[in-house]
Amino acid sequence: GLAEVPGALILLKNVPAALATYCEDTMVDVTKWPMFSLMGPQELASIRKACVFGSSANEAIYITNDDEVFVFGLNCSNCLGTGDSLSTIVPKKLDFLSGRKVVSLTYGSGPHILLATEDGELFAWGHNGYSQLGNGTTNQGVAPVLVSANLLNKKVTEVACGSHHSMALTDTGEVYAWGYNNCGQVGSGSTANQPTPRRVSSCLQNKVAVSIVCGQTSSLAVVDNGEVYGWGYNGNGQLGLGNNGNQLTPCRLVGLQGLCVQQIVSGYAHSMALTDEGLLYAWGANTYGQLGTGNKSNQLSPVQILTEKERIVEIASCHSTHTSAAKTQSGQVYMWGQCRGQSIVLPHLTHFACTDDVFACFATPSVMWRLLSVEHDDFLTVAQSLKKEFDNPETADLKFCVDGKYIYVHKAVLKIRCEHFRSMFQSHWNEDMKEVIEIDQFSYPVYRSFLEFLYTDSVELPPEDAIGLLDLATSYCENRLKRLCQHIIKRGIIVENAFSLLSAAVRYDAEKRKLSQSCV
Ligand SMILES: *[C@@H]1O[C@H](CO)[C@@H](O)[C@H](O)[C@H]1NC(C)=O
Ligand SMILES: *[C@@H]1O[C@H](CO)[C@@H](O)[C@H](O)[C@H]1NC(C)=O
Ligand SMILES: *[C@@H]1O[C@H](CO)[C@@H](O)[C@H](O)[C@H]1NC(C)=O
């Protein structure tokens, strides 16, 4: 009860609701997953939800602000659902799912994908060797199929996948399971594979489930009074029942008696529960230290971990990894278990802002442990703000006149970014002397690109103009800009301009030594 943890209670009381909400906001960046690093800013800005999956994290699905569903990556077991069985490095739209609002999405190891929409419809595709798509066959699902058997008139709100079994939770708190059942993970009382969704009943029959998760071959559900039930494989104690016998039907975790569980997660063979008081319990396999107990002994019953720390607000794990993570109320993120090949047996404090980043950077494979929600806000970084202010007459305090056209800049920026301007403004600069500087030795596009480079670090110019900019960069001793220009020129060489570009490049190259000496 609360009385046993005065520390947690005080913390809870002292944090105003608004602040707590503020603390839950996470800054997620999908480009932390290499799959997304090819995307440009516009494409990235269109992403609202994303999931990276697959045995080597080589597959990805994302949902845009307009509710379009895109997939890309390796076409293992047709898990992209594009219908053409092709791998793709360029995202492809799943037209069939266009406009359907996705509320839950998860993946198995085959991989197979389960997706639930706002209307409560359930779609599945990918590996189906164990009937994990739930449509009665074992044919691979090359494109999304509506899973309807036994779910007609039911509204699915949440989905969960083990390696090869599937689960769905309905809005009335019923749990359905199907697919691979070698250890009872479908909860049907037998070990026969289950070809279509079947309600998990026995002692869950009259309970209202509020959350479901799967380990590799085990299943867990939280019911509305905070109790946890488990079934399926239990060889490592992942059901937390105090023994290691498999369970063909749901069993209540008596080790969590008296606690009100708010979140459960499962790794490959371990499980964790977070209570309403922010306490964290772990049990099951511990070969990689994934329980965070300080040793590598499996635990057949829940043990409390991170006891000395403040209130925990989120825990993370997923069935294809041995990695664990947790976030505290003040936003500190801990990780343990298998982390880039090492076994971290005690929770390790990181500098990550969210548990998702632990999986992007340290899990094997570096999949997402949940369907990631991406928040886009109007915040501009320093770099973005500077870029925006270039050539803005409203904030500028200096202008250049080139070919009769003005370019508006900020003295401070030029001084900070370019040695040439620093010495120019420091030595013979008289404040009220000038607010316009005339430039006649360079063209407008060249000089503008140069000034823009000082605000943005980048250059966009046709190769012909890049020669002029190379000249300017050389005389102002801007070495990085020189290299960018050389790169543009080399990339831009085609038969028609080869001669003029090459002779210019050779000319600058010949002068390089002499000039770089004067730049020291
Ligand atoms: C896509 O996956 C299917 C099933 O695994 C396979 O038969 C096919 O060769 C794959 N195609 C490509 C281009 O990877
Ligand atoms: C089940 O899905 C598979 C794979 O898409 C398909 O071949 C089969 O026709 C479907 N069966 C039914 C009964 O819908
Ligand atoms: C491992 O840690 C747990 C939790 O602290 C403890 O109960 C158990 O005795 C330890 N096992 C060994 C072998 O030290």
CB count within 10 Å of CB 7 equals 13
Residue with tokens 């003040």: 330
pLDDT of residue 263: 97
Q: How far is the CA of 196 from the centre of ligand 2 (A)?
A: 12
Residue carrying structure tokens 């020189």: 482
Please give the number of the atom of ligand 1 that sits closest to the Cα of 78: 2
Q: Strand pairing partners for 190?
A: none
Q: Shortest CA distance to 35 belongs to which of 73, 69, 66, 1? A: 73
Residue 95 CA to ligand 2 center (angstroms) comes to: 19
> How many whole angstroms from 179 Cα to the centroid of ligand 2?
14
CA–CA dist 112, 166 (Å, integer): 9
CA of 266 to the centre of ligand 1 (A): 30
pLDDT of the residue at 9: 44
Round to whole Å and give the CA distance between 96 and 81.
10
Mean pLDDT of the chain: 90
Mutation to probe ligand 3, out of 270, 288, 297 (largest number of atoms < 8 A from CB): 297
Residue with tokens 């509710």: 67
pLDDT digits (tens, 9 = 90+) for 424-479: 888 766 665 568 899 999 999 999 999 999 999 999 888 888 999 999 999 899 99
Nearest protein Cα to ligand 3, atom 8: 297
Which residues, in sequence order, are CB contacts of 231 under 8 Å at separation 6+? 184, 185, 187, 200, 218, 219, 239, 247, 248, 249, 250, 251
Q: What are the distances in angstroms from CA 266 to CA 134, 270, 340?
A: 22, 6, 19
Q: Does ligand 1 come within 6 angstroms of the Cβ of 128? A: no
Report which ligand 2 atom has the smallest distance to the Cα of 136: 13
CB 377 within 8 A of CB 339: no
Indicate whether residue 88 lines ligand 1 (CB < 6 A).
no
pLDDT value at residue 514: 52
Token pair of 182 as six digits: 């070698």
Q: Which tokens go with 402?
A: 């080139």
Report the run of H or E that residue 218 belongs to, with start and end: strand 218-223
For helices 479-491 and 444-456, angle between their N-to-C axes, nearest 10 degrees: 120
- With contact defined as beta carbons under 8 Å apart, do 173 and 161 qualify? no
Alpha-carbon span 158 to 140, nearest angstrom:
23
d(CA 479, CA 369): 44
Sheet holding 47-53, edge to edge: 88-93, 69-73, 59-64, 47-53, 372-373
Q: How far is the CA of 177 from the centre of ligand 1 (A)?
A: 28
Label the pairing between strands 398-402 and 436-439.
Answer: parallel
User: Which of 77, 130, 133, 139 is the pocket-test mutation for ligand 2 (most atoms within 8 Å of CB)?
Assistant: 139
Ligand number with the minimum distance to the CA of 131: 2
For atom 12 of ligand 2, the residue with the nearest CA is: 135
Q: Please give the Cα distance from 222 to 271 (Å, whole number).
A: 13
1 CA to middle of ligand 3, Å? 24
Query: How much distance in Å is there from the Cα of 348 to the middle of ligand 3?
Result: 18
Question: Contact 98/67 with Cβ under 8 angstroms?
Answer: yes
Judged by DSSP in three states, 68 sits in coil
In the chain, the largest separation of any two C-alpha atoms, in whole Å, equals: 91
CA of 113 to the centre of ligand 2 (A): 15
Ligand closest to Cα of 289 equals: 3
DSSP 151-211: TTT--EEEEEE-SSEEEEEETTS-EEEEE--TTSTT-SSS-S-EEEEEE--GGGTT--EEE
The ligand minimizing its distance to the Cα of 80 is 1
Q: Going by CA atoms, what residue is nearest to atom 12 of ligand 1?
A: 86
Distance from the alpha carbon of residue 112 to the mean position of ligand 2, in angstroms: 14
Is residue 317 within 8 Å of residue 324, measured between CB atoms? yes
Per-residue pLDDT of the chain (520 residues; tens, 9 = 90+): 344 444 444 444 444 444 444 434 556 789 999 999 999 888 999 999 999 999 999 999 999 999 999 999 999 888 999 999 899 999 999 999 999 999 999 999 999 999 999 999 999 999 999 999 999 999 888 899 999 989 989 999 999 999 999 999 999 999 999 999 999 999 999 999 999 999 999 999 999 999 999 999 999 999 999 999 999 999 999 999 999 999 999 999 999 999 999 999 999 999 999 999 999 999 999 999 999 999 999 999 999 999 988 999 999 999 999 999 999 999 999 999 999 999 999 999 999 999 999 999 999 999 999 999 998 777 788 998 999 999 999 999 999 999 999 999 999 999 999 999 999 888 766 665 568 899 999 999 999 999 999 999 999 888 888 999 999 999 899 999 999 998 888 888 777 777 777 776 666 665 554 545 455 4
Instruction: Check pocket membership of 82 for ligand 1, CB cut-off 6 A.
Output: no
Q: Whose CA is nearest to atom 9 of ligand 3?
A: 297
| Ligand 2 centroid to residue 140 C-alpha, Å | 8
**Number of the ligand closest to the Cα of 296:** 3
Task: Give the residue from 66, 37, 40, 67 showing the smallest Cα distance to 52.
Answer: 37
How many C-beta neighbours within 10 Å does residue 349 have?
Answer: 11
Q: Is residue 454 within 8 Å of residue 417, measured between CB atoms?
A: yes
Residue 415's Cβ-count burial label (10 Å; 0-12, 13-18, 19+) is middle
Cβ of 78 closer than 6 Å to ligand 1, yes or no, is yes
- Look at residue 505 in the predicted model and tell me its pLDDT: 66
Q: Which ligand is nearest to the CA of 125?
A: 2
Strand order of the β-sheet with 247-252 is: 209-214, 218-223, 228-232, 247-252
- To test the ligand 1 pocket, which listed residue (56, 76, 78, 85) has its Cβ within 8 A of the most ligand atoms? 85
E strands present in 340-382? 342-349, 372-373
The residue behind tokens 């290499």 is: 34
Q: Is the beta carbon of 139 within 6 A of some atom in ligand 1?
A: no
If you compute the radius of gyration of the chain from its CA atoms, what whole number of angstroms results? 29
Ligand 2-lining residues (CB < 6 angstroms) = 133, 135-137, 139, 141, 145
Q: Which domains does the chain have, with CATH numbers?
A: 24-200+368-378 (2.130.10.30), 382-519 (3.30.710.10)
